[in-house]
Chain A
């Protein structure tokens, strides 16, 4: 995990060949390089061999319940908005072995853990995704009990951030204060600059390790014009159609009985897509297995979703049987009770839950309807104002 060293700020510039050299250098250092590539008609974060694996010339269109890859004319390598899932599936994999044990008489012996995998190099991390990583790091490492697996993977990871040049249709990082500018938590930060004359990457180091890798590229210092072009791209990405009053949303927990919960429950299919694509959702369940002889047992931790009935099961039945209670739990935790637990919102404004909801439920619209409607009602607004939050949108 990179620290931030303000002294390392000299920007360099390189072309696609430089990017290839960067990936090769990280591989030579023993990193398992992961980055964006096209698979199954989407951009996913998967193993990268070279810059040629990057989604050259691909963009995407995202809106509520809709995702389409599009062709770009400019040949951009980082011209998409964000991958389907964030980096969570690499830093906190969907299935993790907690331990294996062997029967030993009436008892059992815990077997030594598998050796740690190669350290990760993450290529193309967006500002919102860096914020999500920081939020999960807090969940898994900043309290009484830590998850050593997550801590280890993050501590050994090399992070190459790429600032966004344009916002996607479901982005609202600006409202959540997490982007689009990358400010901390990276080893190298890049902006992809494309104009008539060139297609280059303006890169800055954010850690000593990052500076060392950049030095090795022997790239020239970026000109003022390069830096200005980079800044202009990020400014463009800050213009986002969606927004959310994060402060108001933090008060969602005060409205557990709002009529809007019934309304959204009629649309929500409790599929759990939102929790699977959310880069901060951290809930897991456990799974126990044995071999046929019952001699060898394993205990696995798998991603779970608060949208399943089993999630809240205690003997006698589940606590949250109704759709509205499960949706309420998810969004209230994300936007509101996360503040009490971890000191910030649990939402980074990446918009994935909106894009990948099969019926296009929009977290910003739901939170606004509930908190705005309630605020108007509390302010003694007209009956019409109070109910308009419960319909519409």
Chain B
């Protein structure tokens, strides 16, 4: 038998350099390796983040894949570990394992229109791919970001979205399920934005990330518009205890979401979407 592999369950320490509150329950952390060195990843990959004595959670990387000094994660505090992450202060150290998983195929979309469809905090795993696309802007036709949030108060990366909207080389549309305050923009589900089109369906690659039901309808809307199933990609979420295909928790049909995904080409999983409680 071959030499023993390195233990994939041991985390690497990272120090919290900066914490930014995004929404009432959502925050962005910037991390640097406590023992030096950098961190490389591909857009769409995730890390297992360990809080001392509390536990570990899979969180997508939300920073720029072109940046190797800092690791950026945007997290919604919904459980014990993500709540503990939310309580961290600058200087605290967490454990990081990763990066894991299949990334968004940004380079495979060169020469095509690129449409990002995001729902809620699902914008975070898409942001690295948006950065990568904009760093290679000349290689794409249109670059569109279609984003849906529950209310105007739930719009993630609001300032950044405003900057994107101000660019001449990006098409950005935002909708909310429920208008509050002075909202004068779109109201309705994000699939309405897909239906409006504005991209060349025959020559479009779409990256979709959000709640599962939103991804299902968004993929259907893209398909209805004429985008091929092989050109639509979604990012799945499942319970993960290890991130490397050993714990069995993230199985979805034949797939281990952690290593066969989280990014899947829609034609490879469209059938699974319709099976209840798979």
Interface status of B238 (Cβ within 8 A of chain A): yes
Give the most central of A1, A154, A286: most B CB within 10 Å.
A286
Rounded to whole Å, the gap between the CB of A250 and the closest CB of chain B is 11
A-B contact pairs, 26 of them (CB 8 A): A101-B52, A107-B13, A108-B13, A108-B95, A110-B11, A110-B13, A140-B246, A141-B5, A143-B245, A143-B259, A144-B259, A145-B5, A152-B4, A253-B253, A253-B254, A256-B278, A257-B275, A282-B248, A283-B248, A286-B242, A304-B247, A311-B239, A313-B239, A315-B79, A325-B276, A325-B277
Contact among A99, A107, A299 for B15, CB-based, below 8 A: A107
A-B complex: 7 closest residue pairs judged by Cβ atoms: A107-B93, A283-B248, A325-B277, A145-B244, A290-B53, A297-B53, A340-B254
- Complex CA gap A334/B79 in Å reads 31
Asked if A103 and B52 make an inter-chain contact with CB atoms under 8 angstroms apart, the answer reads yes
Residues of chain B with a CB closer than 8 A to A148's CB:
4-7
Chain A positions 297 through 332: 1 when the CB is less than 8 Å from some CB of chain B, otherwise 0: 101010010100001111110011110010001000
Asked if B238 and A319 make an inter-chain contact with CB atoms under 8 angstroms apart, the answer reads yes
* Extra contacts besides A99-B9, A143-B245, A315-B76 (8): CB < 8 Å: A294-B53, A297-B53, A313-B239, A319-B239, A320-B277, A325-B277, A325-B278, A329-B278
A interface majority secondary structure: mixed
Residues facing A in B1-56 (CB within 8 A) are 1, 4-11, 13, 15, 34, 50, 52-56
Asked if B247 and A341 make an inter-chain contact with CB atoms under 8 angstroms apart, the answer reads no
Interface status of A139 (Cβ within 8 A of chain B): yes
- Complex CA gap A149/B6 in Å reads 10
- Complex CA gap A191/B51 in Å reads 52
Chain B minimum-CB-distance residue to A340: B254
Asked if B248 and A146 make an inter-chain contact with CB atoms under 8 angstroms apart, the answer reads no
Interface status of B241 (Cβ within 8 A of chain A): yes
Contact among A1, A98, A103, A143 for B9, CB-based, below 8 A: A98
Chain B positions 238 through 268: 1 when the CB is less than 8 Å from some CB of chain A, otherwise 0: 1101101111110101101001000000000
- Complex CA gap A301/B246 in Å reads 11
Chain B minimum-CB-distance residue to A311: B249
Chain B minimum-CB-distance residue to A297: B53
Asked if B247 and A145 make an inter-chain contact with CB atoms under 8 angstroms apart, the answer reads no
Chain B minimum-CB-distance residue to A109: B13
Rounded to whole Å, the gap between the CB of B150 and the closest CB of chain A is 14
Residues of chain A with a CB closer than 8 A to B237's CB:
314
Asked if A337 and B239 make an inter-chain contact with CB atoms under 8 angstroms apart, the answer reads no
Chain A positions 100 through 112: 1 when the CB is less than 8 Å from some CB of chain B, otherwise 0: 0101001110100
Contact among B55, B93, B95, B245 for A145, CB-based, below 8 A: B245
Asked if A106 and B91 make an inter-chain contact with CB atoms under 8 angstroms apart, the answer reads yes
Residues of chain B with a CB closer than 8 A to A152's CB:
4
Which chain B residues have a beta carbon within 8 Å of chain A's beta carbons? Answer: 1, 4-11, 13, 15, 34, 50, 52-56, 76, 78-79, 82, 91-93, 95, 237-239, 241-242, 244-249, 251, 253-254, 256, 259, 275-278
Residues of chain B with a CB closer than 8 A to A245's CB:
none
Interface status of A53 (Cβ within 8 A of chain B): no
Residues facing B in A1-53 (CB within 8 A) are 1
Interface status of A74 (Cβ within 8 A of chain B): no
- Complex CA gap A141/B253 in Å reads 22
Contact among A1, A143, A288 for B54, CB-based, below 8 A: A288
Interface status of A147 (Cβ within 8 A of chain B): yes
Residues facing B in A93-145 (CB within 8 A) are 98-99, 101, 103, 106-108, 110, 139-141, 143-145
Residues of chain B with a CB closer than 8 A to A70's CB:
none
- Complex CA gap A143/B50 in Å reads 24
Residues of chain B with a CB closer than 8 A to A139's CB:
246
Interface status of A289 (Cβ within 8 A of chain B): yes
Asked if B246 and A147 make an inter-chain contact with CB atoms under 8 angstroms apart, the answer reads yes
A110-B10 contact, Cβ under 8 Å, with A148-B5, A284-B241:
yes
Residues of chain B with a CB closer than 8 A to A313's CB:
239
Give the most central of A282, A288, A337: most B CB within 10 Å.
A288
- Complex CA gap A283/B169 in Å reads 48
Asked if B247 and A285 make an inter-chain contact with CB atoms under 8 angstroms apart, the answer reads yes
Rounded to whole Å, the gap between the CB of A113 and the closest CB of chain B is 8
Asked if A285 and B241 make an inter-chain contact with CB atoms under 8 angstroms apart, the answer reads yes
Asked if A304 and B249 make an inter-chain contact with CB atoms under 8 angstroms apart, the answer reads yes
- Complex CA gap A107/B254 in Å reads 39
Asked if A329 and B251 make an inter-chain contact with CB atoms under 8 angstroms apart, the answer reads yes
Residues of chain B with a CB closer than 8 A to A1's CB:
1
Asked if B34 and A154 make an inter-chain contact with CB atoms under 8 angstroms apart, the answer reads no
Contact among A106, A151, A341 for B5, CB-based, below 8 A: A151
- Complex CA gap A291/B9 in Å reads 21
Interface status of A155 (Cβ within 8 A of chain B): yes
Interface status of A333 (Cβ within 8 A of chain B): yes
- Complex CA gap A328/B79 in Å reads 28
- Complex CA gap A256/B275 in Å reads 7
Chain A minimum-CB-distance residue to B277: A325
Asked if B8 and A145 make an inter-chain contact with CB atoms under 8 angstroms apart, the answer reads yes
Residues of chain A with a CB closer than 8 A to B95's CB:
108
Rounded to whole Å, the gap between the CB of B230 and the closest CB of chain A is 20
- Complex CA gap A145/B8 in Å reads 7
- Complex CA gap A166/B7 in Å reads 41
Residues facing B in A235-264 (CB within 8 A) are 253, 256-257
Rounded to whole Å, the gap between the CB of B60 and the closest CB of chain A is 14
- Complex CA gap A204/B200 in Å reads 69
Chain A minimum-CB-distance residue to B250: A312
Residues of chain B with a CB closer than 8 A to A140's CB:
246
Chain B minimum-CB-distance residue to A312: B239
Rounded to whole Å, the gap between the CB of B6 and the closest CB of chain A is 7
